[in-house]
Amino acid sequence: MERSIRNVPGIARAMRGILGAAALAMAGSVAATPLWAGEPIRQVNVIETAVKLAPRRPLIAHVRFCLFYADQCVVRGDRRDPARSAADHFNEALQVNWAVNRAITPRPDEGFDSWDVDVTEGDCEDYALQKRKDLIALGWPTSALRIAIARTTDGLYHAVLLVEIGGVDYALDNLTSRVLPWSETPYTFLMLQDREDPRAWHTVTHELRYARAN
């Protein structure tokens, strides 16, 4: 499928003017208190605590992605300011989710499944990969950013980015501006990128279904 490349590369420019409270208010995501306010204190809730993972062959589309975007498939350490809190990280993830959802126009692949970044049109994998790229540019470690393939309540395959914040895996989803723990999404998770090796993948062998009204 043909895609047009963004005129303005990089998260710094892509998010310019939309990271303020006014822009977030337009998205219905901001309140007078910090965005983390009201978030309940949670126990550890990374996906591995609730499902079993088994190694699997990498997806062909992701292998192709790593050939074209090799810098996105290497291990990156944590370069964030250690003084920043989990609330700061949650707010940053929320902002990136909103910014990328606004920047890309939904368009399904034609012919074969192509995973890309820096596009203006794309499908769910492209949204997830862009969010991952933008968060890496902001200093996030690759161990906290994993592409997950799930099945929707309609039986369709769908990709989201799982981001680990404070011991909880949250889903950054192009279908909603809300950032929810993975276990509160309405999806059945099927495949998951490895935490330590961005090129490796796992099959979710013990699937759990979570139904929640959006």
How far is residue 86's CA from residue 164's CA, in Å, rounded to a whole number?
A: 10
Joined together, the tokens standing for residue 211 give 């139904």
H-helix or E-strand spanning residue 90: helix 86-103
Reading the chain (214 residues) residue by residue, the pLDDT tens digits are 334 333 334 444 444 333 333 333 334 443 333 455 555 556 799 999 999 999 999 999 999 999 999 999 999 999 999 999 999 999 999 999 999 999 999 999 888 899 999 999 999 999 999 999 999 999 999 999 999 999 999 999 999 999 999 999 999 999 999 999 999 999 999 999 999 999 999 999 865 544 333 3
How far is residue 138's CA from residue 126's CA, in Å, rounded to a whole number?
A: 18
> Is 3.10.620 the CATH classification of the domain at 11-204?
yes
pTM, two decimal places: 0.80
For 107-130, b where at least 16 C-beta lie within 10 A, e where not — what string? eebeeebbbbbbbeebbbbbbbbb
Residue 55 · residue 204 · CB < 8 Å: no
Entry field: residues in the chain? 214
Joined together, the tokens standing for residue 12 give 């710094």
Q: What pLDDT is stored for residue 37 in this prediction?
A: 52
Pairing of strands 145-151, 53-56: unpaired
How far is residue 97's CA from residue 119's CA, in Å, rounded to a whole number?
A: 15
How far is residue 197's CA from residue 129's CA, in Å, rounded to a whole number?
A: 15
How many Cα atoms are found within 13 Å in the side-chain-facing hemisphere of 142? Answer: 17
Place of tokens 């090796």: 197
